[in-house]
Amino acid sequence: MFKATVLASQLREKMAHYFDMVRGNEVIQVLHRGGPIKVLMTQEHYLDLVSRLTLYEKNSSEKVVTAKTAQEIEATVMEKLKALGQEKELGESDSGKLQRVRAR
């Protein structure tokens, strides 16, 4: 997980060396007496980790759409087909009454 674990005093002494160790997905852990553990990583690796995390997190304000069953989808399609058939029948029965208007 970590390429190396160093003390803060070691990091201060050989900063360039440890910064060079941090490349790609390689991460260095820094321990400081009495302080929280810190981590050195590239910004690219950090953003990659954050983007992966957002795939699995769910925001409480987001709404989840319920999935329809195959039968519900089929019923919806059949209703639309029936409505389309009725529109066509109305259009065909009225088409004889329509006359073409000449342009002047």
Domains of the chain: 4-41 (3.40.1620)
Which one is predicted more confidently, 16 or 91?
A: 16
Six token digits for residue 36? 């929280």
Give the pTM. Answer: 0.48
Q: pLDDT tens digit string along 55-77?
A: 887 777 777 678 888 899 999 99
What H or E segment, with its residue span, contains residue 88? helix 70-95
Question: Cα–chain-centroid distance for residue 13?
Answer: 42
Angstrom CA distances, 41 to 1, 28, 46, 47, 80, stand at 12, 7, 7, 10, 56
